[in-house]
Structure 1
Amino acid sequence: MIGFFKYVSCPNMVIGISDQQTGSQLVLKPINSELRKILWNMNMKTGEIVLAASDDMVMDTNGGSSITLQQRSKGKLSQQWDIATTRGFIRNKQYTTHVIDSNNRGTHDNNPVILYPYNGSEAQQWKFVPMDEMSVNILAEEVMAEDEPSHA
């Protein structure tokens, strides 16, 4: 299911990436950012949250507080997330007492998105907003157009 994770305490911000490469930190991005940096494919069956612009780049945590984009490693618990058990909170399946959190309750562009012990605060509340199939197809065309070189 493709969509974006809206920050509940600041609805014009979503979970995104600083750059589309391995090791990039998850950060807050404005909702009108480049689509390749803010759209995610949530696999409810595996728990993986995959960058929609890539088939093999997923949200991962190394056991510390950082959440980064990493190559998919099938079955790796640090790459699996639960968004259903505690509604509004995204819990890591390896570190089950930790959830996705906006660092220091930040609401600005590029504020780090981290893994932090669950405390129920607004900094930890997210809403997955799915795209319908028609929107996904239109957005896919836009993303492809962003990647094409301009002919000026």
Structure 2
Amino acid sequence: MLGSSVVIKNKKGLAPRYAFWDVDFDSGVISLNSSGGGIAIGATPIAAESYAKLALRQDAIHFDFFLHPGYLMVDVNPPLCLDVKDRRIADGTPTWLYPYNGSPAQQWNLIPLRNLNAFE
């Protein structure tokens, strides 16, 4: 699991334990809910066009959720954003860090877990 790519998945047939993420607004870490916070989104290096991978929490990317609301920003110079590669919403499409440009491929809708109908 560690080192696996963070990809877009069709929710049909996907076990919720692989679909739900915890967003820690204090630390900026996004972790896989089923890992109890131990596995999070990382990238090596933190640079443009680095693919998002599952990493231990201590190696996670620290996102800034408030720099540009609706975007998962990494506060480096130039600012990077979690982006869906090639703007493809298709099963298995990888995510990566890309310079912030405000495109739809960089916009994320964070939905509370208590709103489970979002997965239906």
Range class of TM-score, shorter chain: 0.7 to 0.9
Instruction: Work out whether residues 20 and 113 of structure 2, in 8 Å CA contact, stay in contact via their aligned partners in 1.
Output: no
Q: Distance in 1 between matches of 2:22 and 2:88?
A: 24
Q: Is the 8 A contact 1:99 1:124 kept in 2?
A: yes
- Residue 86 of structure 1 corresponds to 68
TM-score, structure 1 length as denominator?
Answer: 0.67
Larger Rg: 1
Determine helix, strand or coil for the equivalent of 1:123.
Answer: helix
Count residues with an aligned counterpart: 112
Residue 62 of structure 1 deviates from its aligned partner by 1.0
The two structures, once aligned, show a CA RMSD in angstroms of: 2.0
Q: Is the 8 A contact 2:5 2:53 kept in 1?
A: yes
**In the TM superposition, what are the counterparts of 1:130-141 in structure 2 within 5 Å?**
130-132=112-114, 135=116
Q: Give the letter for the 1:61 counterpart.
A: A
Q: 1:34 to 1:122 in 2, by over 3 A?
A: same
| Structure 1 gap segments, 5+ residues each | 1-20, 136-152
Partner letter of residue 27 of structure 2? Answer: T
Question: 1:27 corresponds to which residue?
Answer: 7
Q: Matched residues in 1 for 2:11 and 2:77: separation?
A: 28
Where structure 2 has 5 or more consecutive residues not aligned to the other structure, the ranges are none
Match of 1:52 in 2: 33
Question: What is the identity, as a one-letter code, of the residue corresponding to 1:113?
Answer: T
- Bigger mean CA deviation after superposition, 53-62 or 79-88: 79-88
Alignment of 1:116 with 2:98, yes or no, is yes
1:36 corresponds to: 17
Which 10-residue stretch deviates more, 45-54 or 95-104? 95-104
* Residue 106, structure 1, aligned to residue 91, structure 2: no
Aligned-partner residue type, residue 27 of structure 1: V
TM-superposed CA distance for 1:125, in Å, is 0.7
Range moving further from structure 2, 44-53 or 61-70? 61-70
